[in-house]
Amino acid sequence: MKRFSSKNNFLYLLILAFIFLSSCGLVISGEIPKFVEKLSAVAEEPKKFPPIPVLSGSSSFPVISAEGVFAVDLGSGVPLYEKDPDSPLLPASTTKIITALVAMDYFNLDSVLTIPREVVVDGQKMGLIPGEQMKVENILYGLLVYSANDAAETLAFNYPGGYNSFVLAMNDKAKSLSMDNSHFANPVGLDEDMQRSTARDLVRASEVAMRNPEFAKIVGTKQITITDVSGKNVYNLTNINELLGSVPGVMGVKTGWTENARENLVTYIERDGHKIMIAVLGSQDRFGETKELIDWIFANYKWQEVNPGN
């Protein structure tokens, strides 16, 4: 007796289920031929797998000063370069990736926030004026394009429960993203004992963030002029990321720097149909080393199609 293949068994069971539903009056009998035709197409359609990056056997790995590095092919999930990717390090302003995700989870982009008096921060800032009002979308531009610390604190102080509740939400967000080696003590990225992340964790967060079209649009903006609600206060913002617009395929994501953290950079690249995410933490030359990694990856990896029948 001829035995059914697993594919034929699957089709046979689906047809039996359809006949049962038809007998119950849940489907229109005239649609049976079309339904069977669709089932046959599904059964015959081969499963598609993303191409796999394969490293040339003759290539040598670049020497990178950064303390933590993780580069991954997002299509396949295959790591392309690693250097202590799970070592907890000071994230500096790459923290603002999580700050933005928490803010975008709660606030509508067209919501208007008031700059609170409590916003008094060191480091990079737009110069927001206490009492002025600004749309959340424009505050996010300040946060992600110009890496403004006062933008980060404005979002935190306007969150339900205030600043401390916002920081708790940041850690809840990190946990939900399986950022197992990260913890945040402030939304800005200022160095604190409990402010830690890793190259792998930041790649994970950035991959999720870049699925949000608004986030991707903002971090891909080279320069923009925004205003408060009144239109009287004008802010000209230039992206700190030097690779944006100068290295083909770079579309964001976020810079970071403090004296103790050194230079940090998370970068998303789309080139030749491939999507790559790279995180470099504790570098002496974040832009130069990230560009070196990008050039090395595309020069030494070849993407091969996967045949599920082999």
Question: Are the CB atoms for 201 and 87 separated by under 8 Å?
Answer: no
Question: Are the CB atoms for 221 and 239 separated by under 8 Å?
Answer: yes
Distance CA 282, CA 246 (A): 23
Token pair 């491939």 in the structure block, residue: 274
Distance CA 129, CA 119 (A): 9
Distance CA 144, CA 151 (A): 9
Task: Tell me whether residue 96 is one of the annotated catalytic residues.
Answer: yes
Question: Are the CB atoms for 167 and 184 separated by under 8 Å?
Answer: yes
* Choice among 83, 93, 254, 275 that is catalytic: 93
* Choice among 83, 125, 135, 147 that is catalytic: 147
For residue 12, what are the contacts with CB-CB under 8 A and spacing of at least 6?
4
301, 74, 295: which is closest to 206 by C-alpha?
74
Report which DSSP code applies to 284.
S
Task: Tell me whether residue 275 is one of the annotated catalytic residues.
Answer: no
Q: Is the dihedral of CA 244, 90, 85, 78 positive or negative?
A: negative
- Determine whether 285 is exposed, middle or buried from the number of CB atoms within 10 Å of its CB (0-12, 13-18, 19+): middle
Task: Tell me whether residue 93 is one of the annotated catalytic residues.
Answer: yes
Catalytic residues: 93, 96, 147
